[in-house]
Chain A
Amino acid sequence: MHLRIFGDPVVFQIGPIPITETMITSTVVSMVLLVLAVVLVNSVRTRPDHWISVIAFLVVETFDNMVKDIIGRRHAVVATLSASMFLFIAACNLAGQLPGVHPATGSLATTSALAAVVFLSVPIAGIQTNGLWNYIKHYFRPNPLLMPLHVISELSRTLALAVRLFGNVMSGHLVVGLLVALAGFLVPTPIMALDLLIGLLQAYIFAILSIVYIGAAISAGTE
């Protein structure tokens, strides 16, 4: 049996760049999501009362409300970012259930990239809302002695974001693989159902946590 945990097999090479399996799966997932988005936009423009448009409205409304609940006001950019995160991660996790597909989020490279996006958007949102000086000041807020702790917490939560998603998806996939090798047909089905649930839950948690982190940076200067 072949266990795949940290490795990422190279499928082929374009010049000096190795194209790995994860890159292919994530690109395919992004393409599918893009096509879906185009279909939904078209449907909203032409037939706003069709059920496909209702789904599109529902998705946008849900994320708008989530951002409003957490940050306290509507914020289109944060809603867009978190919704993209949720849809991409959920699609990747669900794609992992297809036979022969290794989920793209089950690779530490993908999840680190997603966490890096959140890590970078936190100071961008904070500086844009509060100005550079106010944002830097919040690092020294209760006491200048706490500045290293602020920095460490920002770094460690980024690491936690990446490793949490990677660990959950990879371990779910691994357990299903082990059960298939040990027990065979139909036995791993309940675990696969649990995997579906965990995949959606982790995508939701990633989106929520990115909203919480960015929202904290946005409201940092107002205290």
Chain B
Amino acid sequence: MTDQTIIAVVAMAGAALTMALGAIGAAIGESRIGAAAMDALARQPDEASSITRTLFVSLAMVESTAIFCLVIALILLFANPFTAVVGG
């Protein structure tokens, strides 16, 4: 195996691992947010608009960690800084 192949294999494995673990975390967080929001909506249907707004904002906050993972995975796959240096 050349250095280039090793880097490519490690980058692919790293991207897959990044995406898998990042998705797990974000999924657990978002499910808890959704459950809590439904609970709050059932208790106070009058506050629906403010609950929904907070729900969306917090979903986006949690979602962004998964998006960071996606961006990192894409950098590893398509814009890997080490392939250019070694492989040329």
Contacts and interface: CB of A to CB of B under 8 A. Distances in A.
Contact of B78 (A5, A164, A201, A202): A5
A98 interface: no
Given A208-B53, A212-B57, A160 B64 contact: yes
B60 A6 contact: no
A166 interface: yes
A167 B68 CA distance: 7
B74 A205 contact: no
A3 B74 CA distance: 11
A204 to B, nearest CB: 7
A163 B67 contact: yes
Given A5-B78, A6-B78, A6-B79, A164 B70 contact: no
B56 A167 contact: no
Interface SS of chain A: helix
A205 B59 CA distance: 10
Contacts of B30: none
Contact of A164 (B67, B75, B79): B67
Interface residues of B, number: 16
Contacts of A167: 64, 67-68, 70-71
A205 B50 CA distance: 14
Please classify the interface of chain B as helix (H, G, I), strand (E, B), loop, or mixed, using the class held by over half of its residues.
helix
Contacts of B67: 163-164, 167-168, 171
A109 interface: no
B68 A5 contact: no
A208 B56 contact: yes
Given A5-B79, A6-B79, A164 B60 contact: yes
A69 interface: yes
Contact of B74 (A5, A204, A208, A209): A5
Interface string A159-202: 01001101110010000000000000000000000000000011
Interface centre among A167, A168, A208, A212 (most CB of B within 10 A): A167
Interface string A52-83: 00000000000000000100000000000000
Interface of A: 3, 5-6, 69, 160, 163-164, 166-168, 171, 201-202, 204-205, 208-209, 212
Interface of B: 50, 53, 56-57, 60-61, 63-64, 67-68, 70-71, 74-75, 78-79
Nearest 9 pairs of A and B residues by beta carbon: A167-B67, A164-B64, A205-B60, A6-B79, A167-B71, A160-B64, A5-B78, A5-B74, A164-B67
Given A3-B78, A69-B53, A160-B68, 12 more contacts: A6-B79, A160-B61, A160-B64, A163-B64, A164-B64, A166-B71, A167-B71, A168-B63, A171-B67, A201-B60, A208-B53, A212-B57
9 contacts: A69-B53, A163-B64, A163-B71, A164-B63, A167-B67, A168-B63, A202-B60, A205-B57, A208-B57
